[in-house]
Amino acid sequence: MSNPSVKPAQGKLGVMVVGLGAVTSTFMTGVLMARKGLAKPVGSMTQYDKIRVGQGADKKYLHYKDIVPLADLNDIVFGAWDVYPANAYESAINAEVLKYKDIAPVKDELEQIKPLKAAFDKNYAKRLDGDNVKDAKDRWDMTEQIRQDIRDFKAKTGVDRVVVLWAASTEIYVPVDEKIHGSLEALENAMKADDKEHIAPSMCYAYAALSEGCPFIMGAPNTTVDIPAMWELSEKTGMPIAGKDFKTGQTLVKSGFAPIIGTRCLGLAGWFSTNILGNRDGLVLDEPANFHTKEVSKLSTLESILVPEEQPDLYTDYYHKVRINYYPPRNDNKEGWDNIDIFGWMGYPMQIKIDFLCRDSILAAPLCLDLVLLSDLAARAGRHGIQRFLSFFLKSPMHDYTKGEVPVNHLFKQYVMLKNAIREMGGYPADETID
């Protein structure tokens, strides 16, 4: 069964990433190695997951590619922007995530991926000091230069479509200001007036991508596409947007484990989460203004799963704390440690400890692949605006807070949303409900 309203994945798919660091060099290397049959894309839903379509006698379990027209790994062409000039091969070596034997077979292809000059403002990431940056006279000029980069990339590579993925550092927190972020016109005026305080560089990338007909994915917790002005632009250009912040380690655990407590009707007294990590991400998050952006994103997960109003006896006054500690010896191998204080029958206390020794980029790379392929699919299916079905992959899912919408953070409900969207785009009924 196929859905005639979804355009086929013809030609090549350009994947332009903002940030050529540990995550994206691992993502690129894995895709290139998988294409050669030298590695397996483990952790990728689009490559491994099977969904039931149809019911009763018509029931089948199919891979996504057998339900919807997904781009093939062989059709992906990579491009990047970064403040550091290192190519993807050098970046993969520098990141020390992958062993040399897992990079060397695709060295030639990785060396061809050279980062374009980044649109960068040091005030948004004080710990970074790369000099591969654009000379822009204002935010509008910065945006125009990114648009030109996308056009040049298309012309040079001959790709049919492009998806833009932000996998660069967390910017300092930009509170939403209705006067500037509330409408597209106000946003454009602020960019032209070079309002550096309210217009983050990431907004320039998002604006440029959408204007050039490219879906945009926000993989950090930045206030970028979480604003009405960007929703307006994505509707105007007919392009999907997704964000924000890749759900890799601790938040994945939280969004999957909190439902155990809630479903079993146990009480929660407190949840303390701490992380230690090295790499460039840890370095940038060591700056309090950048950490605050991350903290807002991580804190939002629990409160919409264990809701005080729904179960006042169980969830009224729990204490939720999130810390991130920069610890260089760990590099990309971060540790997410959770201490959960729960209570049961007659209020008696118990504890749960979870220690996740995870590899950040190894968990993020398949998310990058899935978000890129599914955003490209969404664009071909004519889906624009916020893509709620991609919440499964993201820490603080986009939602229309102007209408009081509460995001779905519960992992298994997010999975139902993902499956239903795939079914619909494949021409099948969306036959699971979220209660």
Domain range list for the chain? 13-246+361-425, 250-357
Tell me the two tokens of residue 152. 């040049």
Q: What is the pTM of this model?
A: 0.95
Q: Minimal CA–CA distance to 322: which of 343, 342, 297?
A: 297
The alpha-carbon radius of gyration of the chain (Å, integer) is 21
- 188 alpha-carbon distance from chain centroid: 25
* Domain 13-246+361-425 matches domain 250-357 at the CATH topology level: no
Q: In the chain, what is the greatest distance between 2 CA atoms, to the nearest angstrom?
A: 68
Amino acid at 196: K
Say if residues 214 and 150 touch (Cβ distance below 8 Å): yes
Per the DSSP assignment, residues forming a β-bridge with 53 are 60
Containing 143, the helix (H) or strand (E) segment is helix 139-157
Number of residues in the chain? 435
Burial of 421 (0-12, 13-18, 19+ CB in 10 A): buried
Say if residues 146 and 205 touch (Cβ distance below 8 Å): yes
pLDDT per residue, tens digit, the chain (435 aa), is: 668 789 999 999 999 999 999 999 999 999 999 999 999 999 999 999 999 999 999 999 999 999 999 999 999 999 999 999 999 999 999 999 999 999 999 999 999 999 999 999 999 999 888 999 999 999 999 999 999 999 999 999 999 999 999 999 999 999 999 999 999 999 999 999 999 999 999 999 999 999 999 999 999 999 999 999 999 999 999 999 999 999 998 889 999 999 999 999 999 999 999 999 887 777 887 788 887 877 776 667 898 899 999 999 999 999 999 998 999 998 889 999 999 999 999 999 999 999 999 999 999 999 999 999 999 999 999 999 999 999 999 999 999 999 999 899 999 999 999 999 999 999 999 999 987
CA distance 387 to 226: 12
CATH topology for the 13-246+361-425 domain: Rossmann fold (3.40.50)
> What is the CATH architecture assignment of 250-357?
2-Layer Sandwich (3.30)
